[in-house]
Amino acid sequence: MKKGSLILLITGLMLFAACTTEEVCEDASESYLVARMKYIENGSSLDTVVPDLLLWGIRESMPDSLIYDSLSTARLVLPLDPHHNFSTFVMVIDSIYDTLFLEYGVELYLHSQACGFRHAFTLDSVRASGLKILEAETVREDIDATLETNEEHVWLYL
Amino acid sequence: MSGSTYKSGPGHSLFPLSGKALIVLFICLLPASMAGQDTLRTYGPRFGFDLSRIAYLFTDPVQKGAEVSLDFEVYKNIYPVFELGFNHSTDPGELYSYKSGGPYARIGMDYNLLPMDDRSVHHTITAGFRYAVSVFDHEAEDISIQGDYWGDYYLDTYENRLSGHWFEIVGGMKTEIGANFFLGWSLRLKILMNPDMDPVLPPQMIPGYGNGSESRAFGFNYSIMYKIPLIKR
């Protein structure tokens, strides 16, 4: 065997290995449910804005932490709990407390080699206590770490 | 699921070969000698050992493996080929560490495109195909997902046993460098037939194939071979 061939072979392989680009993760690590606030007028479903919303999740062994603190919003973006197959959120709208209860299936998946693993959720049910949120409707069941523009999963009717 | 083991029921490319690089390799790896020895043509099983696997130990030490081959000219210019190997790879990443390993086998055929006017010439330029299969284990360990609101998520191990199937289009050369000793190389285009074998964790390394998250892969072998001269005519 020519020595040159082997040297060129090894050099070539080292060059290829050196040219491998390093990926950078720019995606979120959590998966978010998006809920649109709605109301019904004359049989039609219309978007609405909730003023001065307070919202937090009920977390095991962790203190309450506000996700929405007196914000006016038409769209709620809520992180889902991957440790359980449910998440519970307390909402305060016009000084009235309501509870949003979400049930789902959770699966692990490799998002990318740069980002590592993420959770994919399949929404089973959405309920509210009915004090302020009159009805909840699921419009899209699948939720993963890639949130597309205008992606919505739930409509909440006031 | 936190802090436990997840078992399932049933790629970055470690060597991203560019087109230009393949051409350079093609030129560099032209066989060293073109001299034949026998005055009669000999036939017999030819056993090979892939030397490129040794180079991998220097360029990509996370991969360890070996590959052997067997071919036989059963009819003029037609060589059934059987290849057998194993590969183990580890990738200790920051977000999770990955391991895969197992054997693989390929079966196929090469056709010699080099005209054989001189019966003493045993060199070949071949084109062929392979069907390949690998049954392997892969696992991710120390999986962590940052959770700003609900807290971080940890999983000790996710593991799965998989089988990968792929098809290869192969081209290469073999030169007899001494009596019955050959040196040769081959380039391969690999087409993965079941890329969705694990939807949770696409295999980062299928033994004998490469990155399982890619449905196409390139490969090459640089082998030394010995032919047992059973028949002379």
Confidence category of residue A27, pLDDT binned at 50, 70, 90: confident
Give percent above pLDDT 90 in chain A. 46
Read off the pLDDT band of B1 (50, 70, 90). Answer: very low
How many residues can be counted in chain A?
158
Across B208-226, average pLDDT: 93
Question: What is the model's pTM?
Answer: 0.73
Contact B202 A10 (CB under 8 A): no
Q: What is the mean pLDDT of chain B?
A: 83
Distances from the Cα of B107 to the Cαs of A99, B54, B140, B169, B206, in angstroms?
Answer: 62, 23, 30, 12, 17
pLDDT average, residue stretch A6-26: 59
Which pair of tokens denotes residue A81? 């709990």
How far apart, in Å, are the Cα atoms of B169 and each of A129, A153, B64, B190, B208? 62, 46, 24, 7, 14
Which residue's structure tokens are 């060059």?
A: A15
pLDDT (0 to 100) of residue B40: 61
DSSP B12-34: --SS---HHHHHHHHHHTS-S--
pLDDT of B19 > 70? The answer is: no
Cα-Cα-Cα-Cα dihedral of B50, B217, B12, B133, to 10°? -70
Strands of A13-158 (E only): list them. 32-41, 44-47, 50-57, 66-73, 75-79, 86-93, 96-112, 116-128, 135-138, 142-143, 154-157
Among residues B218, B177, B185, the alpha carbon closest in space to that of B26 is found at: B185
Residue A16 reports pLDDT greater than 70: no
**Greater model confidence, B62 or B182:** B182
Name the closest residue on chain B to residue A114, using Cα atoms.
B95
Can you tell me the distance from the alpha carbon of B154 to that of B166, in angstroms, rounded to the nearest whole number?
34
**pLDDT of B177-212, one tens digit each?**
988 899 999 999 999 999 999 989 999 999 999 999
Average pLDDT, chain A: 85
Q: Is the pLDDT of residue B60 over 90?
A: no
d(CA B70, CA B231): 17
The pLDDT value given to residue B165: 96
Four-residue CA torsion sign, B18, B23, B24, B30:
positive
Task: Give CA separation, A145 vs A36, A38, A112, A120, B85, in Å.
Answer: 19, 25, 11, 7, 38
Query: B233, B187, B221, B227: which is closest to B87 by C-alpha?
Result: B221
Please say if the pLDDT value at position A20 is more than 60: no
User: Quick one: pLDDT band at residue B10, thresholds 50, 70, 90?
Assistant: very low
Q: Which of A82-91, B39-48, B73-82 has the lowest mean pLDDT?
A: B39-48
> In Å, how far from its chain's centre is CA A51?
22
* Tens digit of each residue's pLDDT (9 = 90 or more) over B136-184: 999 999 999 988 899 999 988 999 999 999 999 999 999 999 888 999 9
pLDDT at B95: 85
pLDDT score, position B16 = 43
**CB–CB of B202 and A119 under 8 A?**
no
pLDDT above 70 (res A88): yes
A131 part of contact set with chain B, CB < 8 Å = no
Shortest Cα distance from A43 to chain B (angstroms)? 37
Q: Is the pLDDT of residue A2 over 60?
A: no
| Cα B191 from chain centroid (whole Å) | 12
How large a percentage of chain B has pLDDT more than 90? 58
Per-residue pLDDT, A102: 95
* pLDDT more than 70, % of chain A: 86
Q: A113 — contact with chain B (CB < 8 Å)? A: yes
ipTM: 0.79
Instruction: Check A9 against B55: CB less than 8 A apart.
Output: yes
Per-residue pLDDT tens over the stretch B114-132: 877 776 778 899 999 999 9
Which residues of A fall within a CB distance of 8 Å from B13?
20
CA A69 to chain B, closest CA, distance in angstroms equals 15
- Specify the higher pLDDT residue, A153 or B233: A153
Contact residues, chain B, for A115 at CB < 8 Å = 95
For residue A98, what are the CA distances in angstroms to A104, A127, B32, B119? 20, 10, 80, 90
Mean pLDDT for B97-115 is: 94
Asked whether A48 and A40 are in contact (CB, 8 A), the reply is: no
pLDDT > 70? residue B55:
yes
Which residues in chain B are closer than 8 Å to A30, comparing Cβ atoms? Answer: 146-150
> What is each CA distance from B140 to B10, B156, B204, in whole angstroms?
16, 8, 10
* B12/B211 Cα distance (integer angstroms): 6
Give the distance, in angstroms, between the CA of residue B32 and the centroid of all CA atoms in the same chain: 23
C-alpha distances out from residue A92 to A2, A46, A50, B52, B227, Å: 79, 21, 10, 66, 82
Residues in a beta bridge with A138: A154
Mean pLDDT of A59-87: 89
Position B23 pLDDT exceeds 70: no
Residue B217: phi, psi to the nearest 5?
A: -150, 155
Mean pLDDT of A81-102: 92
The token duo for B32 is 């060293």
The terminus-to-terminus CA distance of chain A in angstroms comes to 80
Place of tokens 């067997």: B70
